[in-house]
Every structure is written in structure tokens, then in C-alpha cells.
Amino acid sequence: MLWSLFKIILFVVLIAALALGAGQLLELEGGVRVAIAGWELSLSPLQAVLAVVFLLCAVWLLLKIVGLLVAVVRFVVGDETAINRYFNRNRERKGFQALADGLMALASGEGRTAMSKAAKAEKYLRRPELTNLVTAQAAEMTGDKRKAQAVYKELLKDDRTRFVGVRGIMKQKLAEGDTDTALKLAERAFALKPKHEETQDVLLRLQAGQADWKGARATLGAKLKHGSLPRDVHKRRDAVLALSEAKDVLAAGSTIEAREAAIEANRLSPDLVPAAVMAARSYADEGKPKYAVRVIKKAWESQPHPDLAAAFAALEPEEDAQSRLKRFKQLLKLKPDHIETKLLQAELNIAAEDFPEARRSLGDLIDDNPNARVLTIMAAIERGEGKPDSVVRGWLTRALTASRGPQWVCGNCHTVHAEWEPVCSNCQAFDTLAWTEPSGGDISMPGGVEMLPMLVGAPESTEVVAVDEFSDEPTESAKIENSDNEKDVLDAEIVEGSADQAGQK
Ligand SMILES: [Zn+2]
């Protein structure tokens, strides 16, 4: 911007200086007189200056003509390419200048200029492998897909530019959503340049998306071989692929192979929950419950998860609640402070009808992390202890709007999945699902949560005892008036509805 302004000012100043100079030359007295061998020429000062400029041009032209004459003489003497070389030098210079301009235009985002410069360069240079690269990129830039595709097809003809052509068409097919063709092209590009990282990633994504787990594992192996993947990441992803393979094999009805694949996946990544669950089930089917227990415990140590607990329970389907509680002790002691351990312990105690112990198992989760599962367990405890319906309903009402707790969430697009998948169903990213609490887990309801007690009916009697047992907070009506936290208000409203009414009055 500033530079343009500067150029304009410079131009104006130059013109003014020229006009001024010419005016002064016109006003000057005298002039130049040239006398050569009887010839005599009188020039005014302005004419003299013009004559000098003309003379310079004439000398430049003379040098050019001499150059051409020299080339002609050489040609006559026997150097057959001399004239061609003379003209080619010129063409080459102009061609490379045009190519440089084209690249510059490309870099500054001027697609149309780049395209015309590339065409000009091609006219002088006749080097399509060079100029087509510029043309293709310029066509992409201006959104001229058909032209770009035509140029990519040209590039396929030359060994040196084939990869660029394949990659270009592959990207176009990907953008169009034609994944079948894109996969074939990616395989071709991978064969041409197995070290190319982007091609590896595209191929892997497409193979995973089309459930070609064997192919994907081969690509993953190539990624590791060419050093573009850390070994631990490779191991984990390979496990994910092995697990996906196992799932497919199981769906096809071949259980023995599926078992082996699941155990392999678990061996590669012991913390991958679905692999551990499947491997445990495989061991149990083989009549090796000890191995199954070991696999589940190993996975529980790195990631306690309800599916692992379910798999652990399934090892002894016939046992009663008391002996199940006893058997689970070996799992529960591994991570005693983990929220999943506390919830599992509470659930097992509820099943064994030991409600006070279930309440103790929950610990302070009801204050620290009151998600839907915690609140539902709380409702079950109250029901088991014979509390009135209104109290139970209060907990369930809170559970309605509470966070759902951890789920399989895509780390890329944050989509929540009901089941673990190797490929995100929304953004098609590979191995992005993690067992975490989704952001914005609280469910908003029209009218706000404070409306709910009205809808489900406020409890009738004051349940101060219930409040004292799990909360140290004061239950007076003053607390309700001072609190600006909706949840606290609701909590108090549900448990001691009459106090609420008193507080409002
Ligand atoms: Zn996703």
C-alpha cells in the first residue's frame, strides 16, 4: 500500500523533472554544432539530448546485429547450431523469466496471472513437466477443476511428474467424496513413493474407512519403517487395527481366528479397553479364566471401565451377589480412589442389599462429581433404605439434567459414540475415541432445572435426616436464599421441600 503510493509519487516527480528539464533546455541559449568533413549540423540543446538517446539505442541495436552476424558467420564456417543457439538463448531467457513470474504469481495467490505466465513460459521453453506444475496449481487456485484435472493427466505421462499427477487427481477425488477411486489412486501413489508421509496418512485413513484392516496394518508398518511414526503410537494403532480385524472375523463367524486376533490386539496394547474385553471373553471361551482375570486386571490398572467390570462379572455368571462382591475385591483394590471403582463397589453393594455400605462406597462423589450414574445409584440406595418416593424421585430428577459421565468421545470432533469404534463415525478420524467426559455434558432443559420440582411435584415432608447423612452443608432456608447455584438450590428443594416453601414466604 505504502509502496504503491511511493511509486506513484516517484512517477509524478519524474514526469515533473522531465518537463522542467525540457523547458529549461528549450530556454537555453546556444546549442551544439557538429562539423564533420564539410558537413555541419546545428542542434538546439533539446535536440542534442534526444540525439544522445537515439545514439545509445543505435549502439545497442548495432551490438545485437553484430551478435547475429557472428552467429551467421559461424554457421557459414560450419557450426550448424550457431543461429539456433543465438535465438534459443533469447527464448530461454524469456521463458525462464515468464516461469519465474508465474511462480511469483502463484506464491502471491494470483491464480489467473500464474496460469497465463505458465502458458507463456511453455511457449518459449517447451518444458511441459515444469510449466504444467505451475498451471495445475494455478488452476486449483482459481477453482478450475476441469483444467486442473486435464493438466494432472498430462503429468501422468512423464515418469518424473507421475506422482504429482496421481496425488493431484487423488485429492480431487477425495474432495468429491469418491473414496473408492481415491483409495486406488492412494495405493498407486504409495507404490510410487512409499516414504511420502501424506500419502501414507491418506491411504491409512481410506483403508480404515473401508474396513480394509489388513491393508491398513501394512500401511502402518510402512509408516513405522520409514520413520514417520513413533514406535509406541504404531503399537497402539496396530492394536486398534488388530481389534477391528478381530471384530470383523467374529462377525463372519470364525471364532478361533477372532480369538487369536483379539488376544494379539490385547498383547499389543493392554490398556485398550475393548481389546481387553474381547481377549478376556476369548480366554474364558477357551476355558482359561485365569488368563481372562489377568487381562482384565491389567486393563483396569490403566483405565477402569464399566465394560471391564461387566467382562469380569461374566466370568462367573451363576454366582450370588455376596460371592460376586467377594470375588470383585481383587479388582476393586487396584485403583481404590478411582471414580469407576467407587461406583462399581456401590453397585455391587446394592446388589448385595447392603445399602449403608453402598452409600459409604460412593464417598464424596455426590458432591464432587454428581453425574447421572452417581445420582441414579443414590436413588437406588434411598429406595433400598425405604425412603419415601418423593426422595427417590428427587434424585432421579437431578439425574435427568446431570452430566452423563464419561463416554467414548472423539478427540477430533467431540462426537459421542455409544460403542467404541476404530474410526469416528462423524469425522472419519482414525483411533481418536477416548473414554472421557464430553465437554458441555450438562443437559439444558427449556425453563431451567428449577422448574423440575414443580413438574414432578415437590416432596411433602422434611427429610433432614437424609441431608445430614451425605452432606455437611446447612439445610436452613437462609442457605437457599443466599445460594446462587441452581444445583444447590435444587438439591435442597428436593430433599426438604417444605423448608423451601418457608424460605420463599
Ligand atoms: Zn470425530
pLDDT in tens, 354-390: 999 999 998 888 888 889 999 999 999 999 999 999 9
Q: How many CB atoms lie within 10 A of CB 485?
A: 8
Report the C-alpha gap between 130 and 326 in whole angstroms.
75
CA of 174 to the centre of ligand 1 (A): 18
Report the C-alpha gap between 369 and 341 in whole angstroms.
14
CA of 237 to the centre of ligand 1 (A): 16
CA of 394 to the centre of ligand 1 (A): 36
- Residue 433's SS3 state is strand
Report the C-alpha gap between 361 and 349 in whole angstroms.
8
Report how far apart, in Å, the C-alpha atoms of 316 and of each of 16, 129, 253, 293 are.
101, 69, 24, 11
Phi, psi for residue 227 in degrees, rounded to 5: 75, 15
CA of 421 to the centre of ligand 1 (A): 10
Structure-block grid coordinates of residue 458:
415437590
CA of 341 to the centre of ligand 1 (A): 28
CA of 260 to the centre of ligand 1 (A): 29
Tally the residues of the chain: 505
> What's the pLDDT at 482?
41
For the chain, first and last CA: distance in Å? 69
CA of 407 to the centre of ligand 1 (A): 13
- Orientation of helix 289-302 relative to helix 321-332, angle to 10°: 50
CA of 416 to the centre of ligand 1 (A): 9
CA of 264 to the centre of ligand 1 (A): 26
> What's the pLDDT at 32?
74
CA of 257 to the centre of ligand 1 (A): 30
Report the C-alpha gap between 393 and 497 in whole angstroms.
12
Each residue's pLDDT, cut to its tens digit, for the chain (505 residues) gives 778 888 899 999 999 998 888 788 777 777 777 777 777 777 777 788 888 889 999 999 999 899 888 888 888 877 767 777 777 788 888 999 999 999 999 999 999 999 999 999 999 888 888 899 889 989 988 988 899 999 999 999 988 899 999 999 999 999 998 999 999 999 999 999 999 999 998 999 899 888 899 899 999 998 898 877 888 888 888 999 988 888 888 877 777 888 888 888 888 888 889 999 989 988 888 889 999 999 999 999 988 999 999 999 999 989 999 999 999 999 999 999 999 999 999 999 999 999 999 999 988 888 888 899 999 999 999 999 999 999 999 999 999 888 888 999 999 999 999 988 888 989 888 888 889 988 764 555 555 555 555 555 444 433 433 433 444 444 344 333 444 444 444 444 444 444 344 444 3
pLDDT in tens, 246-304: 888 887 777 788 888 888 888 888 888 999 998 998 888 888 999 999 999 999 998 89
CA of 200 to the centre of ligand 1 (A): 20
CA of 183 to the centre of ligand 1 (A): 20
Give me the DSSP letters along 102-159.
Answer: HHHHHHTT-HHHHHHHHHHHHHHH--HHHHHHHHHHHHHHHT-HHHHHHHHHHHTTST
- Residue 187's SS3 state is helix
pLDDT in tens, 309-347: 999 999 998 999 999 999 999 999 999 999 999 999 999
Report the C-alpha gap between 499 and 387 in whole angstroms.
18
- Residue 32's SS3 state is strand
Strands 433-436 and 407-410: antiparallel
Report the C-alpha gap between 337 and 315 in whole angstroms.
24
Helical segments of 435-476, H only: 452-456, 464-470
CA of 276 to the centre of ligand 1 (A): 23
CA of 438 to the centre of ligand 1 (A): 12
